[in-house]
């Protein structure tokens, strides 16, 4: 299944508070050196513009980067300018439920494991966590009591070495993006 709005993490390389324009690098799509401009056409002042070095989530109408817009700034540590803590499933969870202390970190599995996202997870809007499937055991993210996880096409990291990000988009509402299947 193909998403109508491809979602990618990007790094802000240019920011203009006067015009609201930013430029970003999208390494997963363009490589490490190519940039794309994003403007605030049609939006009202005052501009809320991410700073150079901020990590943002961007969407586009298609993989050709038609009508690119950014949807969220990632204010937690773990951006490309910082060292991201890497922790195991066991450290990130209590009885299989993802804990708020995992925000901004990379969580990896140590076997076939499921992480539940519940109202007890307690992420603030804009916080995120990354997941990596580092062995052959399946690694699944599940919507538990009091939480909604939006995704496509599945809640399981597709294969060994697949990665995904979970972003809190509203209170107890999350978006799972990445190599899912």
Q: Does domain 7-73 have CATH number 2.40.50?
A: yes
Domain(s) labelled CATH 2.40.50 in the chain stretch across 7-73
Tell me which architecture the domain covering 86-178 has in CATH.
Sandwich (2.60)
Strand, helix or coil at 30?
helix
CA distances from 26 to 35, 62, 117, 167, 168 (A): 7, 14, 27, 17, 21
| Distance of alpha carbon 34 from alpha carbon 103, whole angstroms | 28
The answer to whether the CB of 57 falls within 8 A of the CB of 74 is: yes
Per-residue pLDDT of 48-95, as tens digits, reads 677 777 777 776 666 666 666 665 554 444 444 556 788 899 988 999
Q: Where in the chain is CATH 2.60.120.640?
A: 86-178
pLDDT at 95: 92
Band of residue 6 on the pLDDT scale cut at 50, 70, 90: low
For residue 26, pLDDT over 90 is answered with: no
Beta strands in 81-172 (DSSP E): 86-88, 93-94, 97-98, 106-108, 113-117, 128-132, 139-143, 148-150, 163-170
Q: Is the pLDDT of residue 151 over 60?
A: yes
Give the pLDDT of residue 176.
96
The mean per-residue pLDDT over the stretch 108-116 comes to 95
């Amino acid at each position: 299944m193909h998403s109508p709005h491809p979602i990618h993490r990007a790094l802000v390389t240019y920011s203009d508070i006067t015009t609201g324009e930013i430029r970003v690098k999208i390494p997963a799509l363009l490589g490490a050196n190519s940039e794309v401009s994003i403007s605030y056409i049609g939006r009202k002042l005052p501009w809320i513009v991410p700073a150079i070095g901020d990590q943002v989530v961007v969407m586009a109408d298609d993989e050709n980067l038609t009508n690119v817009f950014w949807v969220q700034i990632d204010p937690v540590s773990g951006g490309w300018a910082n060292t991201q803590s890497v922790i195991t499933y066991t450290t990130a969870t209590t009885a299989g439920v993802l804990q708020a202390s995992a925000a901004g970190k990379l969580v990896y599995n140590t076997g076939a494991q499921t992480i539940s996202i519940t109202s007890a997870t307690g992420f603030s809007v804009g916080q995120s966590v990354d997941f990596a499937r580092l062995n052959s055991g399946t690694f699944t993210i599940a919507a538990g009591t009091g939480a909604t996880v939006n995704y496509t096409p599945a809640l399981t990291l597709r294969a060994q070495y697949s990665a995904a990000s979970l972003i809190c988009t509203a209170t107890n509402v999350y978006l799972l993006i990445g190599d899912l299947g």
